[in-house]
Chain A
Amino acid sequence: MKRWFFLLVAALGLALSQQPAPLKIGVVVSATGPAASLGIPEKNTFLLLEEEANKRGVAGHRVQFIILDDASDTTQAVRSTRKLIQEDGVLAIIGTTTTPASLGMIDVVAEAKVPMISLAASKAIIAPVDAKRTWVFKTPQTEELMARAIVADMKERGVKSVAYIGFNDAYGEGWWTFFSQEAKEGGINVVASERYARTDTSVTGQILKIIAARPDAVLVGASGTPAVLPQRTLNERGYKGLIYQTHGVANPDFLRVGGKDVEGTLLPAGPILVAEQLPAGFPSKRPSLDYITRYETKFGIGSYSTFGAHAYDAWLILRPALERALKNASPDNLAAFRAALRDELEATKNVVASHGVFSFSKEDHLGLRFQDTAVMVQVQNGRWKLVRTFR
């Protein structure tokens, strides 16, 4: 009896050891620190994706996501990236959540020649596509795209002057840069530019200054629940104009904390925010609903976030690229495989994802078409309501 047992174990061992090594993908996200509300759903999404991907495997290989938290800090992000490349020998890097940390990572991935898909907002991460950025792609819409959506909406509503109040960090700064540019091109006058910190307990001074300038609309460049504060203060001080937020508030906590104060807010968002309300022909409708269902099954109803969807989109792009690369190259030859993977990523065409349709090219490593990637949403009765698309 013992003999059979040992033979069985040996056979199993032999069989298992014949399995090809897992495909290692490095992930860096900000699961703690100021960007945690964006990073946690991203991290959760990767856990979900790993589980699912390994049910069927990718071209016969298992997938392993090695996930590191950078605590929203540049130095940590760079260190984590180096670790993933040097210690773990990953095939590609996905991350990170914030713009400055992503920028810091560019040098590392370019030096090591590893493809990277960023989950951060700024255009500077992927443009212009030079010798370094040839290795870098990204999935979230740039502030430029979303700002264009806002300006288009403002023009339609006859807004002539706008005031801006944003976070005193890379997010608020990036939004200011691109929004003020788009507003200028669209002929809208920006009358005030204020800043506040995520941890602030009041923005009375800034709001008073804004109200004194009498703008038709106010744009709040913030993310998460701290974005409620300026809006609430505006209401308390009797501001009657339009209030716009950015897609950084597209999570259920914003509605919960904002309550009546955020009723009527307008914001640009990726289509996934209002997935069920999208018209039938909208490309991202199916992938969005798909993602929402799977995420909520694992993590609870109402728990999905549009930021987690960026992570999902990254996989929707990376997976087929991996499959294509595996046809011609083997992960055992790391350098060659990474280069092949990069080429296949760049060759991505018409991938229908939750935030739009991705088609990369040599000059464009974002590859989103404006019409498919941004919709205008308004908060009505405590819910997100689709008010217009740009198709």
Chain B
Amino acid sequence: MDWTIFSFLLADGLQNGTIYALLALCLVLVFAVTRVILVPLGELLMFAPLSYALLLQGQFPGTAWLSAAMLVAWALLDRNRLRLALALLLLAGVVLGLAYWGSHGAPGWVAWLLAVLIVLPMGPATYRLFFEPLPHGTVLVYLILAVGLHFVYQGLGLVFFGPEQYRPPALLSGEASLGTVPLPRQVFVVYAFAFLAMLGLYLFFTRSLYGKALRACAVNRLGARISGINPSEAGRVAFLLATAIAAVSGMLIAPLVNAAYFMGFLLGLKGFVAGILGGLISYPMAVGGALVVGLLESYSSFTASAYKEAIVFALLLPVLFWRSLRTLELGGEEE
């Protein structure tokens, strides 16, 4: 392996690692507030660019129907709060209208925004419809629930978008060179976004009162309620934030790696791995973990590509062991 190859692999590892980092941020965010491991995050990541691809082709994306349906279901569940219900119904109509506009000749950049907006309501609606009815679930039950949702969303992905990939146009096309390595310009947008997201989440959750209030809900739900924090609202906000980051991430990375209905799960899994390396609590560490996973993957794809995943996961074990030793002794955990 010479220097050129080394630097190419480095760039590749950083790119993949950044994708995992974005997912890790969302997973940590959701877990830190609701104790839900959001398995369907991968699908939410892919829905936005896939919807965008369909809009550009002049087709009405099925995700708009899904989004609207979820909003209507939410309105039905909260029908005794009339104003909220009406607002949700209105929002459902707006989503459908936006999708109609996007598929009937809206300019490219507008369609870009519309794709994100169409997918956005699915986040808080997911929380409201599926997780809020179960406020005292264990982490394991939430996890299996999330797996069930993953089946639903992935199955719907196949129905809406078909089995093949799509390649939406990039925001920045062309390449730029970093040293000897040519990189697509789009990748810099991804890096910038990841950095901002990490910084933003870190500051929000450690410095702002609202962010701390959100974290309190996961630590002690009853205590949070007594302190005047609404855990349900916290959950919806967390899901909304996570979906927003995921949707934008998906839009940014799809031109680089293509989007397909089945690609989200494994990306989410690796993001989950990174998140755990950060203890599911620290954003900078999650990002660090993600970069480590990305780099490991890149270098093992060069040395032994058939066993690449096996190497990455096997090397994880000693790292986990080391991380685990550094947490407290006996009596640390609930579940």
- Decide if A and B are genuine partners: yes
A225 contacts B305, C-beta separation under 8 Å? no
B230 at the interface (CB under 8 A from A): no
Q: Are A228 and B165 in contact (CB under 8 A)?
A: yes
Are B164 and A224 closer than 8 Å at their CB atoms?
Answer: yes
Asked if A212 is at the interface (CB within 8 A of a chain B CB), the reply is yes
Are the CB atoms of B266 and A195 closer together than 8 Å?
Answer: no
13 A-B residue pairs with CB within 8 Å: A32-B155, A40-B162, A201-B19, A201-B256, A202-B12, A202-B16, A204-B11, A205-B301, A205-B303, A205-B308, A212-B5, A225-B165, A229-B258
Separation of A251 and B266 alpha carbons in the complex (Å): 25
A37 close to B301 (CB less than 8 A): no
What's the minimum C-beta distance from B291 to chain A, rounded to whole angstroms?
Answer: 15
Query: Is A205 within 8 A of B164, CB to CB?
Result: no
User: Looking at B165, B253, B308, which has the most chain A CB atoms within 10 Å of its CB?
Assistant: B165
**Residues in B1-22 with C-beta less than 8 Å from chain A:** 5, 8-9, 11-12, 15-16, 19
* Chain A residues proximal to chain B, CB less than 8 Å: 32, 34, 36-37, 40, 165, 168, 194-199, 201-206, 208-209, 212, 224-226, 228-229, 236-237, 251, 253, 257, 259
Q: B55 interface residue, CB < 8 Å from A?
A: no
User: Which 10 A-B residue pairs are closest in the complex by CB-CB distance?
Assistant: A205-B301, A205-B302, A225-B165, A204-B12, A201-B257, A253-B164, A36-B163, A195-B306, A37-B163, A194-B305
Bound Cα distance A17, B309 (Å): 59
**Residues of chain B within 8 A of A201, CB atoms compared:** 16, 19, 253, 256-257, 263, 267
Q: A205-B301, A226-B260 known; 9 other A-B pairs, CB under 8 Å?
A: A32-B155, A36-B163, A197-B309, A201-B267, A203-B301, A205-B300, A205-B305, A208-B9, A257-B167
Q: What residues of chain B have their CB less than 8 Å away from a CB belonging to chain A?
A: 5, 8-9, 11-12, 15-16, 19, 155, 158, 162-167, 182, 253, 256-258, 260, 262-263, 265-267, 298-303, 305-306, 308-309
Q: A42: shortest Cβ distance to chain B, in Å? A: 12
Contacts of A225 in B (CB 8 A): 164-165, 258, 260
B305 touching A195 by the CB < 8 A rule?
yes
Check A199 against B300 for contact (C-beta < 8 Å): no
Q: Which residue of B lies closest to A253 (CB)?
A: B164
CB of A328, distance to nearest CB on chain B (Å): 42
Give CA–CA (A253, B265) in the complex, Å: 22
The answer to whether B166 and A257 have CB atoms under 8 Å apart is yes
B263 touches A204 (CB 8 A): no
Instruction: Look across to chain A and name the residue whose beta carbon is closest to the beta carbon of B253.
Output: A201
With both beta carbons as reference points, the residue of chain B lying nearest to A237 in the complex is identified as B8
Taken together as a complex, chains A and B put the C-alpha atoms of A257 and B50 apart, in Å, by: 13
In the complex the two chains form, what is the Cα distance from A209 to B302 in whole Å?
6
Q: Which residues of chain A come closer than 8 Å to B265, judged between CB atoms? A: 199
Contact at B167–A208, with CB atoms within 8 Å? no
Q: Which residue of A lies closest to B15 (CB)?
A: A202
Is there contact, CB below 8 Å, between A196 and B305? yes
* A197–B263 CA distance with the chains assembled, in angstroms: 11
Q: Which A residues lie within 8 Å of B182 (CB)?
A: 236
Smallest beta-carbon distance B8→chain A, Å: 6
Contact B263 A196 (CB under 8 A): no
In the assembled complex, the Cα of A248 lies from the Cα of B105 at a distance in Å of 34
User: Considering the chains assembled together, what is the distance between the CA atoms of A48 and B266 in angstroms?
Assistant: 35
Could you tell me if A37 and B12 are in contact, using CB atoms closer than 8 angstroms?
Answer: no
The answer to whether residues A228 and B258 also contact, given A37-B163, A195-B306, A205-B300 and a CB cut-off of 8 A, is yes
- Partner of B301 from A206, A236, A259 at Cβ < 8 Å: A206
Query: What's the least CB distance linking B16 to chain A, in Å?
Result: 6
B163 and A224 form a contact (CB under 8 A):
yes
Smallest CB gap from A37: residue in B = B163
Contact assessment for A32 and B158 in the assembled complex, using a CB-CB cutoff below 8 Å: yes
Interchain nearest-CB distance for A148 vs B (Å): 25
Which of these, B19, B253, B258, B301, contacts A204 with CB under 8 Å? B301
CB A245 to nearest CB in B, in angstroms, measures 15
